[in-house]
Amino acid sequence: MFAAYVTVTILASVFTGIAAVTYLIGHDYPKAQADMKRIPRSWVPWLGMVLAAGSLGLLTGFAVPLLGTLAAAGLVLYFVGALIAHLRVGSRQLVGWAVFFSTVVAALAVNLGYHW
C-alpha cells in the first residue's frame, strides 16, 4: 500500500504542479479555457495558486498526513468546480478534466487507505 500511496501522490502532485505553472506564467491555454468557460481572466492566477497549494499540500502530506488528506480533498473539490464550469457553458470537452479528476481522486483514496 505504501508504494501505491507514494506513486499516486507524486503523480497527482506533478500533474497539478504542472497545471499550476501554466496558470501562473500566463500561458495562453488557461486564458483560453477561462474565456471558454466565461470566467474572468483575473481569476487565472488565483486558480493557479490553488493548484500550486494543492500540489505542495500533497507532498507535505508525506510529513503531515492530515495536510495531505486535506490537500487531496481540496483538489477533488477544485475539479468538481471545474466540471461545473464546463457543464455550465455546455462544454463536453472533458477528457483533460477526467484525467486530472481521476488522478486527484486516486490520491485521496490512497491517502485515506494508507493513513486512516
Mean pLDDT, the chain, whole residue set: 96
Which residue range forms the structural domain that includes residue 18?
A: 2-115
Q: Which residue has the cell 506533478?
A: 14
State yes or no: pLDDT of 35 exceeds 90.
Answer: yes
Assigned C-alpha cell, 8? 499516486
How many folded domains does the chain comprise? 1
Check residue 110 and give its pLDDT.
Answer: 97
Query: Whose CA is closest to 56, among 22, 26, 23, 16?
Result: 16
Q: What residues have CB less than 8 Å from 63, skipping those under 6 apart?
A: none
Tell me the C-alpha to C-alpha distance, in Å, between residue 114 and each of 55, 57, 66, 72, 82: 19, 16, 12, 13, 27
pLDDT band at 83 (very low <50, low <70, confident <90, very high): very high
| Confidence grade of residue 48 (pLDDT, cut at 50, 70, 90) | very high
Note whether 70 and 11 are within 8 A (CB). Answer: no
Q: Does residue 116 surpass a pLDDT of 90?
A: no
